[in-house]
Amino acid sequence: MEKKRTGVIENFMIVILAFYPLRHINWGLDLWDTGYNYANFTYMGMEHMDPMWLFSTYLSNAVGNLLTKLPGAGSLFGMNLYTGLFVSALALLSYWFCTRRLHMSVWTAFIGEMIAISLCWCPTALLYNYLTYLLFLGAVIFLYTGLTKERNGYLVAAGLCLGANVLVRFPNLSEAAMIVAVWAYDIIIWLEDRKKPIGGRKEAEENTTEGKTEKGKAAEALQHTGFWRRTLSHTGWCLLGYLSALAVLLGYIAIRYGLGEYVTGITRLFAMTDNATDYKATSMVMGVIGTYVENLYWFLRIGIIVVCGMLLFVVSELLESGLMRLKATEDSRKENNRFSTKISVAAGIAGNVIHVTVRILMIAISVAMVVWLYARNFCSFDFYSYDSMLRPGILFLMLTMMIAVIRIFDRNGAKEEKLISGMLILVILLTSLGSNNGVYPSMNNLFVAAPYTLWEIGKFFRQVKEKKIARVTISAFPAKTALAAFLLLCVVQFGGFGIHFVFAEATGVQDANAYVTNNAVLKNIRMSSDKAECMTELSAYAAENNLQGEEVILYGKVPALSYYLQMPSAFNPWSDLDSYSRDTMEQELQNLNEETPVIILGNSYALYEEGGEEALKKWNVSEKEQQAILSDGKWELLASFMEEHGYEQTFRNEKFAVYR
């Protein structure tokens, strides 16, 4: 009966994990990343995409293009549903791995997965992220299984996942560093083998007391040879899968597009750092390091609170010990007089009072710590903003890595636990590479790390009570109460963020209570009233003028309009991105010859086109945005193109302007 009830509960958990990632599929209109990626999926190919973006994220675009052919994929709602299922797959696969391979309790795995889903701030349209996470997770599962069960086929599968991931997003090349986990695991096995006695008991004693015997030396040499043979074998199987995936996928690209086109696109990817300096390797690495260093402020202060709590317990333990000794002394006196009895009773009561009081005090300190964190704006209850989860999320990452390091160097730790600990450190660090978003991608990929952290903390709560260091007893109670308080804060903040936050132009959607009724792509999508009004007006204009299917040039942070209006880009939907160079845009404009695509500008650029710098000041465009427009070389090219071909404004509202 108990097993049946557990099965029912687990099935309910699985249903929640499958459907909770789909909670926002009809919520919010993003004019940036969401529609931009769906436009690339819809119009995939050299004609309407920037080759750099096509080839650097080829596999994600190919998968996205397949999704557009499914029933209902012609709408934003349908595409959000299909891409949202990738998060469901991540949660379910991670849940299975945590419960079946790592043997976590179903509740630990479930709560951890809910935390991971809640921290998925990135739109699911960015398949180059979620497909990366899915293949990365597959690599972790295959590596763990292949190494712990000594099955080379799984190592090949892990290599296939990591090799394919390079074609999902080119910077995923860095994931090849997962081979470090393979080498580290082999070193751990080798060290454990060295601890085993060579030969029998007599041989072991001889090796200890008289130096190594010839037999001992031979056995040690055999161990050393075995280490290299095992390591080279594991590395070779992983490399076989990795290179096979690359060979097949690059071979397909070479046949379809030509290898020269691929090389040209990837070469431009490396050159884009001349304009987009935040994509430089040094900038990305220093950005991640800087974030962790900055948040050491909070990490160290919480640590100081824990240390002070431990010192408080040391003092209380000394007082309790002194009182207990006094009690024992009075109880052992031969003359059982009333005075000795009173002293004994008083000592016992005082010891118990100190024992209870110091624990209540530590709980109060932990509560005060949380209050202090809120008072110092460590996080907020504005769940439509990153402020609600950013610092708790960063400290959660730091806590996970700290726990993992402790487990790796724990002499009594199982080698399998050391392996998963090391792998998760690599996952957290590698996930952020290749992005200019700092540690945000790592917080978006905690599908194994979040359950692992709760799992390890749970074991700490159950198994560790106190530890003796130089005859001083150190209680674990202060660390447990502080950890519990911090985890409670995280659950509140992460849960609130997950329920309320939906990405739109890098911020959260608010007041999503209106709809666009004259655009099939945007049917049933909730959005703010001002966006709904502007999109309704633009959609009406596009329908009246039969613009669907017409090529368009979009400029001014409105790339999503290509998908929402079903207008393929003339060359790149997001041509105002820093990563898209001026030289490339100049060449693309020249390649248009006498073609004159529709041009749609975002409001700030439309204001500048209408009235120059004075118009920007009149309508209170921010100083930063004014400077960006005035120094924008690509805008100068587009403005000259518009003037040369006699473009005129044919539509205008508060957000967009159309020129034909």
Average pLDDT over residues 157-178: 97
3-state secondary structure 476-544: CHHHHHHHHHHHHHHHHHHHHHHHHCCEECCEECCCCCECCCCCHHHCCCEECHHHHHHHHHHHHHHHH
The pLDDT, as a whole number, for residue 272 is 78
Distance CA 413, CA 619 (A): 64
Q: Is the pLDDT of residue 204 over 60?
A: no
Distance CA 507, CA 431 (A): 22
Q: What percentage of the chain exceeds 70 in pLDDT? A: 92
The pLDDT, as a whole number, for residue 336 is 58
Q: Write b or e for each residue in 479-510: b if 16 or more Cβ atoms lie within 10 A of its Cβ, otherwise e.
A: bbbbbebbbebbbbbbebbbebbbbbeeebbe
SS3 468: strand
The pLDDT, as a whole number, for residue 469 is 74
Helix, strand, coil share of the chain (percent; to 5): 70, 5, 25
The pLDDT, as a whole number, for residue 339 is 63
- Write out the DSSP string of 59-127: HHHHHHHHHTTSTTTTSHHHHHHHHHHHHHHHHHHHHHIIIIIS---HHHHHHHHHHHHHT--S-TT-H
Distance CA 248, CA 163 (A): 10
Output the six-digit token pair for 536.
């309704």
pLDDT band at 211 (very low <50, low <70, confident <90, very high): low
Output the six-digit token pair for 208.
């200890």
pLDDT band at 335 (very low <50, low <70, confident <90, very high): low
pLDDT band at 516 (very low <50, low <70, confident <90, very high): very high
Q: Is the pLDDT of residue 308 over 60?
A: yes
The pLDDT, as a whole number, for residue 327 is 66
Average pLDDT over residues 369-382: 96
The pLDDT, as a whole number, for residue 506 is 86
Q: Which of 119, 97, 118 is nearest to 108 (CA)?
A: 97
Q: Is the pLDDT of residue 77 over 60?
A: yes
Q: Which of 645, 642, 614, 643 is nearest to 629 (CA)?
A: 614
Hey, what amino acid is at 370? V
Count Cβ atoms below 10 Å from residue 398 Cβ, excluding itself. Answer: 18
Distance CA 171, CA 150 (A): 30
Q: What is the DSSP-derived secondary structure letter of residue 573?
A: T
The pLDDT, as a whole number, for residue 473 is 79
Least confident of 31-40, 43-52, 118-127, 539-548: 43-52
The pLDDT, as a whole number, for residue 513 is 94
Output the six-digit token pair for 534.
């502007």
Average pLDDT over residues 258-284: 83
Q: Are 86 and 127 spatial neighbours (Cβ–Cβ below 8 Å)?
A: yes
Query: How far is Cα of residue 258 from the mean position of the Cα atoms in its chain?
Result: 34
Query: How far is Cα of residue 81 from the mean position of the Cα atoms in its chain?
Result: 21
More confident residue, 66 or 7: 66
The pLDDT, as a whole number, for residue 340 is 66
The pLDDT, as a whole number, for residue 9 is 92
> Number of H helices and number of E strands within the chain?
26, 8
Q: Is the pLDDT of residue 273 over 90?
A: no
The pLDDT, as a whole number, for residue 202 is 52
Hey, what amino acid is at 468? K
pLDDT band at 323 (very low <50, low <70, confident <90, very high): confident
Least confident of 190-199, 267-276, 514-523: 190-199
The pLDDT, as a whole number, for residue 214 is 63
Q: Are 573 and 39 spatial neighbours (Cβ–Cβ below 8 Å)?
A: yes
Q: Is the pLDDT of residue 375 over 80?
A: yes
Rounded to the nearest integer, the mean pLDDT of the chain is 91
Q: Which of 657, 385, 330 is nearest to 496 (CA)?
A: 385
The pLDDT, as a whole number, for residue 6 is 74
Distance CA 401, CA 393 (A): 13
Q: What is the DSSP-derived secondary structure letter of residue 571?
A: S
The pLDDT, as a whole number, for residue 200 is 52
Q: Is the pLDDT of residue 135 over 60?
A: yes
pLDDT in tens, 544-553: 999 999 999 9
Q: Is the pLDDT of residue 449 over 80?
A: yes
pLDDT in tens, 390-430: 999 999 999 999 999 999 999 889 999 999 999 999 999 99
Beta strands 552-555 and 507-508: pairing type? unpaired
pLDDT in tens, 613-641: 999 999 999 999 999 999 999 999 999 99
Q: Write b or e for each residue in 169-182: b if 16 or more Cβ atoms lie within 10 A of its Cβ, otherwise e.
A: bbbbebbbebbebb
The pLDDT, as a whole number, for residue 346 is 76
Q: Are 57 and 126 spatial neighbours (Cβ–Cβ below 8 Å)?
A: no
pLDDT in tens, 344-364: 777 678 778 888 999 999 999
Q: Is the pLDDT of residue 246 over 90?
A: yes
Beta strands 598-602 and 656-659: pairing type? antiparallel
Q: Is the pLDDT of residue 240 over 90?
A: yes
Cα first-last separation, the chain:
72
Q: Which of 57, 94, 237, 90 is nearest to 159 (CA)?
A: 237
The pLDDT, as a whole number, for residue 275 is 72
The pLDDT, as a whole number, for residue 355 is 83
Distance CA 295, CA 633 (A): 37
Non-local (6+) Cβ contacts of 194 within 8 A are: 220, 223
Distance CA 547, CA 196 (A): 76
pTM flag (> 0.85): yes
